[in-house]
Amino acid sequence: MRKYMQETIVAPYKIMAVDDDVGILDSLKVVLRKSGYELVVYTNPLEAIERLKKEKFDLLLLDFIMDPLHGDQVVDEIRKFDTNLYILLLTGHKDLAPPLQTLKQLDIQGYCEKSNNFDQLLLLIESGLKSVDQMHIISKINQELQEKNEELEKAYLDTIEILRYTVEAKDPYTSGHSDRVADYSVLIGTKMGLDEDSLHTLKIGGLFHDIGKIGIPDSILLKETKLDTEEYSQIKNHPSIGVHILGDAKIFKDIIPIVKHHHERYDGKGYPSQLAGEDIPILARIAAMSDAFDAMTSKRTYRDAMPLKVVISEIEKNSGTQFDPKVAEVFLDILKNDYKEIEAIRKKYK
């Protein structure tokens, strides 16, 4: 672990830990320094907030139960002046941890249960700092090209390619998957009569919808067996991590709804925001349909691809619950009457 972590360090990072348990902070300092990281620590969250107001940090490790402010209150205070700080919440043992619903409502990028074994936390820190690197790239390009409108589109596409390749190197499945989701989405959007700008956004959003997976530890993302509840909760963070990576860059504002909401469900039982019906942006509803279709029809290490008849049956059964019924109707028509267009896309991105 130590050797791997040191090999992946590509830039100095400023990391802060806030915990009212001095023993935890001492342990964190030892573990992180062994892995090549320097750490600033605070036992008083109010003092930490004041430091963060004056100085930029890349990543914050934040305890949940503290005095005089709990972790959720600290997050709320920090987000008033810093929306970019990558925050990992440290929760107590399972009987002391906050409810999962509470964690979902916080503007954080991940959480980890405290234990004597810091391996999982180190993986989350490493993945978080990869996300920070991407945020820095985007921020730099956005700043340099703010006044150069002619170069904006090229920089936009070039940046997307750079970040896509980063994710695809991490998870080979994402490569063909993202290309197919992009083309399926454009196909659906075309059949629905969307304008050219919307189709362009669908294309780019589809290519980029899983960028947040760069913030998911490889041990979870590449696991060949079924994920447990905790691991699945971490996977469900990838849309929010994707949005955090994109930040406030104007060049990405149109695709952010796709990145953030492509796992929402029409019945409101999706994530991360539990939006329902037409409260879900239409482009995200289209991408969700494409994403689910490609997942069902792709062979994975733990299961074979579903036959087309089964896929059609699943879409029909979940129309109005998982899927927007109008989007599902259009896509079912494509599957039943224009499947050659689907085959062309699948052949293109084998």
Stronger pLDDT, 91 or 188, i.e. the higher one: 188
Quick check: 8 pLDDT over 50? no
Give the model's pLDDT for residue 3.
31
d(CA 41, CA 224): 37
Domain check: are 78 and 167 in the same one? Answer: no
Give the model's pLDDT for residue 174.
64
Domain boundary among 99, 117, 135: 117
Nearest C-alpha neighbor of 250 from the set 141, 129, 154:
141
Quick check: 289 pLDDT over 80? yes
Average pLDDT over the chain, rounded to whole?
86
10 pLDDT band, cuts 50/70/90, is very low
Stronger pLDDT, 246 or 255, i.e. the higher one: 255
Give the model's pLDDT for residue 172.
66
Give the model's pLDDT for residue 316.
97
Give the model's pLDDT for residue 41.
95
Residue range of the domain that includes 90: 2-117
Domain check: are 292 and 164 in the same one? Answer: yes
CATH number at residue 299: 1.10.3210.10
248: DSSP letter: T
Domain check: are 224 and 300 in the same one? Answer: yes
Which value, to the nearest 10 degrees, does the dihedral of the CA atoms of residues 50, 51, 57, 59 take?
Answer: -70
Give the model's pLDDT for residue 120.
86
The share of the chain scoring above pLDDT 90, in percent, equals 51
d(CA 182, CA 194): 15
* Residue burial 285-301, b: 16+ Cβ < 10 Å; e: rest: bbbbbbbbbbebbbeee
pTM over 0.85: no
Domain check: are 181 and 293 in the same one? Answer: yes
Q: Which of 38-47, 125-134, 307-316 has the lowest mean pLDDT?
A: 125-134
Q: Which of 46-50, 86-90, 169-173 has the lowest mean pLDDT?
A: 169-173
* Residue burial 176-198, b: 16+ Cβ < 10 Å; e: rest: bbbbbbbbbbbbbbbebebeeeb
CATH number at residue 102: 3.40.50.2300
- Residues 326-345 have pLDDT tens digits of 999 999 999 999 999 999 99
3-state secondary structure of 334: helix
- The count of domains in the chain is 2
**Mean pLDDT score, 218-237:** 86
Give the model's pLDDT for residue 286.
98
**Mean pLDDT score, 273-281:** 96
Domain check: are 107 and 154 in the same one? Answer: no
The share of the chain scoring above pLDDT 70, in percent, equals 84
332 Rama sector, left if φ>0, alpha if ψ -120 to 50, beta otherwise: alpha
Give the model's pLDDT for residue 165.
72
Quick check: is 127 in a domain?
no
Quick check: is 126 in a domain?
no
Strands ordered across the beta sheet of 86-91: 39-42, 15-18, 59-63, 86-91, 110-113
First vs last C-alpha separation in the chain? 34
Nearest C-alpha neighbor of 168 from the set 180, 157, 176, 156:
176
Quick check: 324 pLDDT over 50? yes
Nearest C-alpha neighbor of 286 from the set 344, 206, 347:
206
Give the model's pLDDT for residue 12.
75
Q: Which of 120-134, 143-157, 306-320 has the lowest mean pLDDT?
A: 143-157
Give the model's pLDDT for residue 304.
82
